[in-house]
Amino acid sequence: MYVRSFADGNGDGTGDINGLRSRLRYLKELGIDAIWINPWYKSPLHDGGYDVSDYRVIEPRYGTVADAEALIADAHDHGIRLIIDLVPNHTSSEHAWFVEATQAQPGDPARQRYHIRKGRGVNGSEPPTNWTSVFGGPAWTRLDDGEWYLHLFDHTQPDLNWENPEVRSEFESVLRFWLDRGVDGFRVDVAHGLVKDMSFPDMDNSDQEILAGATQVDHPFWDLDGVHEIIRGWRTILEEYSLPGAERMMVAEAWVAAERLGNYLRPDEYHQSFNFDLLSSEWDAPSMRSIIAGACAQATSVGSTPTWVLSNHDVVRHATRYGLPSGTNWRRWLLEGPHDLLDAELGHRRARAAALTLLGLPGSSYIYQGDELGLPEVWDLPVEVLDDPVWEQSGHTRKGRDGCRVPLPWTPDGTSFGFGSNGSWLPQPPSFSALSAQNQTGNDASMLELYRRALSIRNEHLTMDESIRIIDSEPTVVAFERGSGVQCWLNLGDDPIRLPTNASVLLASEPIDKELPGNTSAWLTLPKTHTSSPR
Ligand code: NOJ
């Protein structure tokens, strides 16, 4: 949940904790069982809160620690667990440690909490390595005294040095601080990036976008073996706080090669790791089928459960991605177009079909706020309002992620469509009126009611037996059966296909009869087949 854009409780145009508390009932009625909340710590918000200046204080625009405690209690009263974001790879440049480091002399221990080094070349005027930032531009910025600090993201996000024992003990203490306040777990930011290998100064910098590059092996800062030891320490703390029925968990944001993901899921490491393969996949049946089969097999092999993600606060919303011609680089398309390539109606239809697939799968399905309303990417935000540091850091060559972070519409009218009482930090398009939660409630044909029905069926029939069997089907179809006997069929082609005879439809993304139209999905039940016993 992107708290900044969910609901604004105090009318300052920014979402906050009390706004979220006032919408817990909506979340309960939607049928979710946990919330992952993006960073809520004190922050200058240069990167939407992923630039933390104090890990034990709530950002004042979001509320206070007391509000956070009240939210945790309210969420638990609604039967909803709360997972918070842990940002251990970097702090904000406004964090007391970094301020101290920049005021200290070269060589001072205060500098050793970060990666601060002399440069190369004449007078050290070249950065220590040629690495580039994920957001574009060099990954090093020079301090006034001539040394350089590393930032894999924005220049306001200096990377911590995880070789330093002080960094390790500080994060263990932060973990305990929030566990003591009742959080149910952590989503760990850049989980694959904590350890750096400075003996590898020059690399091929061709592609450092957030979704790319991280899957290379032999990389100087992604997926180094040292990250696992750090995680094992955190897992021990979580076990200490876990009670039967109230376990504490960790989920990794690790953009690593599929065959390396299992390393993060060993029994003494993460409980889950996001699998971004579905999110990265084209609208293509063979690709989706093999991703589903592969992720389920991998989770089983390490005793974990699979995770599924179609969208999040870092990517173009899938209702828009699915409306673009196959092969479109949607990150570039945002800025470069051509925008008339977008078939928004098709994208919406496919997003409905994808929802039933996402929610039909075993394990944990992560829904990004607003997907349940069918929100599209707001791709035409004027550049003057862009807030994502990607826009500046990339030298205006990448538009960034604001288009999926536009505040949610709750009502068809009113200032900021019910998001708050006084506008919203990013402008909402007029089309948000029809997509507001209020407008969709009670309308059986709406995306919101589709999600509500799907989650209700999922909670009743699909969560007690996590097994899955892939069904042999036409080349354009992904079909699988869950342990309860419910089958999920997704037709990614344009032509209708025949459904199994005798199938009863539990739920479908479009009106259907005996055939499943193109770009449509359905959940089916079939009468049990009885084999006659031999005489
Ligand atoms: C991944 C987060 O999801 C993204 O929003 C953030 O910019 C980077 N990590 C850096 O913290």
CATH number at residue 375: 3.20.20.80
Distances (CA, A) of 114 to 164, 231, 389, 401: 9, 19, 21, 27
Which ligand 1 atom is at minimum distance from the Cα of 47?
Answer: 7
Type of residue numbered 359: L
Q: Which domain holds residue 101?
A: 96-150
Q: What share of the chain is helix, strand, coil (3-state, %, to 5)?
A: 35, 15, 50
Residues 475 and 451 in one domain: no
Residues 398 and 290 in one domain: yes
Nearest alpha carbon to residue 183 among 43, 294, 328, 17: 17
β-strand partners of 41: 58
Residue whose CA is at the smallest distance from ligand 1 atom 2: 189
Q: Is residue 231 part of a domain?
A: no
371 neighbors 310 (Cβ within 8 angstroms): yes
307 neighbors 376 (Cβ within 8 angstroms): no
Q: Is residue 57 part of a domain?
A: no
Residues 437 and 319 in one domain: yes
389 neighbors 50 (Cβ within 8 angstroms): no
Q: Which of 45, 47, 188, 369 to mutate to test ligand 1, by most ligand atoms within 8 A of the CB atom?
A: 47
DSSP secondary structure of 219-239: -SSSS-TTHHHHHHHHHHHHH
Residues 482 and 431 in one domain: no
What letter does residue 429 receive in the DSSP assignment?
P
Q: What is the CATH number of the domain that holds 510?
A: 2.60.40.1180
Residues 407 and 454 in one domain: yes
Please give the distance of CA 458 from its chain centroid, rounded to a whole number. 21
Identify the domain boundary among 150, 166, 181.
150
Please give the distance of CA 381 from its chain centroid, rounded to a whole number. 22
Residues 474 and 455 in one domain: no
pLDDT in tens, the chain (535 residues): 999 999 999 999 999 999 999 999 999 999 999 999 999 999 999 999 999 999 999 999 999 999 999 999 999 999 999 999 999 999 999 999 999 999 999 999 999 999 999 999 999 999 999 999 999 889 999 999 999 999 999 999 999 999 999 999 999 999 999 999 999 999 999 999 999 998 877 887 655 554 445 566 678 999 999 999 999 999 999 999 999 988 999 999 998 887 888 899 999 999 999 999 999 999 999 999 999 999 999 988 888 899 999 999 999 999 999 999 999 999 999 999 999 999 999 999 999 999 999 999 999 999 999 999 999 999 999 999 999 999 998 999 999 999 999 999 999 999 999 999 999 999 999 999 999 999 999 999 999 999 999 999 999 999 888 899 999 999 999 999 999 999 999 999 999 999 999 999 999 999 998 899 999 999 999 988 654 444 3
87 CA to centre of ligand 1 in angstroms: 9
Q: Is residue 249 part of a domain?
A: no
Distances (CA, A) of 149 to 144, 152, 156, 213: 11, 10, 10, 21
63 neighbors 76 (Cβ within 8 angstroms): no
For the CA atoms of the chain, what is the radius of gyration?
24
Q: Is residue 295 part of a domain?
A: yes
Burial readout 476-502 (b: 16 or more C-beta within 10 A, e: otherwise): bbbbbbbeeebbbbbbbbeeebebeee
How many structural domains comprise the chain?
3
194 CA to centre of ligand 1 in angstroms: 13
Residues 414 and 510 in one domain: no
β-strand partners of 148: 117, 142
